[in-house]
């Protein structure tokens, strides 16, 4: 009896402590514990069903979360539709190939039925990215919740997304502006273990004398063949596009990186050793990746009057 009581006290303390661990950001692990207790299973089940039908959506959701967080913070601004007075982030050329909006909509629809006006679109996207990584075989990690949805989404802000032609120094500088070290930037780039890029994103490597990166000659021929089908023809980042593993880094070591911004991580001495360490040790990559993703998921989270819980992820209330 005494033991059982003690266990209960420990359990309650753990819940409270975990809950307040990220209190400084207004976020916590158990944010919806009382207001929407079945939220987690709804997110997981809906996502798993969608990914069973189309495993390639895992890549789309992880990328969408990144593009959300790097512009105006993780506030679901990427989900907002353009109106006649405003062209939104999602219509920027850098975002036109984002995929997975319908999964977020389905989760939101179910949650609005269960607990109307409670779970933010920004939280849904952050959780969907987390669960997509796990679905694809990557690390399991949790994120604090309680992000609010932003009320600004402007195409011009997307100028702050990294370009696929950036070299390592430019990438380091841009990620530093968001508080990430070079190592964290290289770990986050490992998300390119999932998914594809279109020829328009890598054709610079075939047409220009690209002195910043090296490109395997056989791989160059394969890429040229892909591009013969046009700018929208897709090529996977590595040989296992739906598996979250460290093959991306192994490809960089053999000069089979797809984008300039991928291969530069190996070409540049500042980041080469980090690439080598992830290519050799997948567990290390998983550990650094999950920590960097938690950090990214908390970028510039919104509180106060300039934020809300959107009823429809595509529209400001």
Q: Is the dihedral of CA 58, 175, 215, 206 positive or negative?
A: positive
Taking the complex as a whole, the smallest distance from the CB of residue 294 to ligand HEM amounts, in Å, to: 12
Residue 201 in the binding site for ligand HEM (CB under 6 A):
yes
* CB-nearer residue toward ligand HEM: 111 or 130: 130
* CB-nearer residue toward ligand HEM: 66 or 285: 66
Residue 59 in the binding site for ligand HEM (CB under 6 A):
yes
Q: How far apart are CA 277 and CA 267, in angstroms?
A: 14
Q: Per the residue annotation, which of 67, 178, 235, 314 is the catalytic one?
A: 67
Residue 196 in the binding site for ligand HEM (CB under 6 A):
yes
Residue 195 in the binding site for ligand HEM (CB under 6 A):
yes
Binding mask 255-294 for ligand HEM (x = CB under 6 A): ----x-x---------------------------------
Record the tokens describing residue 234, joined without a space. Answer: 């897709």
**Ligand-binding site membership of 68 (annotated):** yes
Residue 67 designated active-site: yes
**Ligand-binding site membership of 216 (annotated):** no
The piece of 32-40, 56-64, 221-229, 277-285 that touches ligand HEM (CB under 6 A) is 56-64
Residues that bind ligand HEM (CB under 6 A): 59-60, 62-63, 66, 97, 99, 162-164, 166, 171, 188-189, 191-192, 194-198, 201, 259, 261
């Amino acid at each position: 009896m005494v033991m059982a009581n003690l266990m209960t006290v420990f359990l309650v303390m753990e819940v409270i402590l975990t809950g307040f661990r990220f209190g400084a950001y207004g976020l916590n692990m158990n944010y919806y514990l009382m207001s929407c207790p079945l939220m987690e299973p709804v997110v997981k089940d809906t996502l798993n069903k969608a990914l069973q039908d189309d495993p390639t959506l895992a890549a789309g959701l992880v990328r969408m979360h990144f593009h959300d967080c790097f512009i105006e913070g993780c506030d679901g601004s990427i989900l907002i539709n353009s109106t006649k007075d405003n062209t939104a982030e999602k219509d920027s050329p850098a975002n036109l190939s984002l995929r997975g909006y319908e999964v977020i909509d389905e989760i939101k629809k179910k949650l609005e039925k269960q607990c109307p006006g409670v779970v933010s679109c920004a939280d849904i996207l952050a959780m969907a990215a987390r669960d997509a990584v796990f679905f694809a075989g990557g690390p399991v990690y949790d994120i604090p919740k309680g992000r609010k949805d932003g009320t600004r989404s402007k195409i011009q802000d997307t100028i702050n997304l990294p370009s696929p032609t950036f070299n390592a120094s430019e990438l380091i500088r841009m990620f530093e502006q968001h508080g990430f070290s070079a190592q964290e930037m290289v770990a986050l780039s490992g998300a390119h273990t999932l998914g594809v890029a279109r020829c328009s994103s890598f054709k610079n490597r075939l047409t220009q004398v690209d002195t910043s990166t090296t490109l395997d000659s056989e791989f160059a021929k394969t890429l040229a063949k892909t591009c013969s089908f046009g700018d929208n023809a897709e090529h996977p980042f590595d040989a296992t596009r739906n598996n979250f593993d460290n093959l991306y880094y192994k490809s960089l070591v053999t000069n089979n990186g797809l984008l300039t911004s991928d291969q530069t991580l190996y070409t540049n001495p500042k980041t080469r050793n980090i690439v080598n360490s992830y290519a050799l040790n997948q567990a290390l990559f998983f550990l650094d990746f999950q920590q960097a993703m938690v950090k990214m998921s908390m970028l510039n989270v919104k509180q106060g009057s300039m934020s809300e819980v959107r009823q429809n992820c595509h529209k400001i209330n």
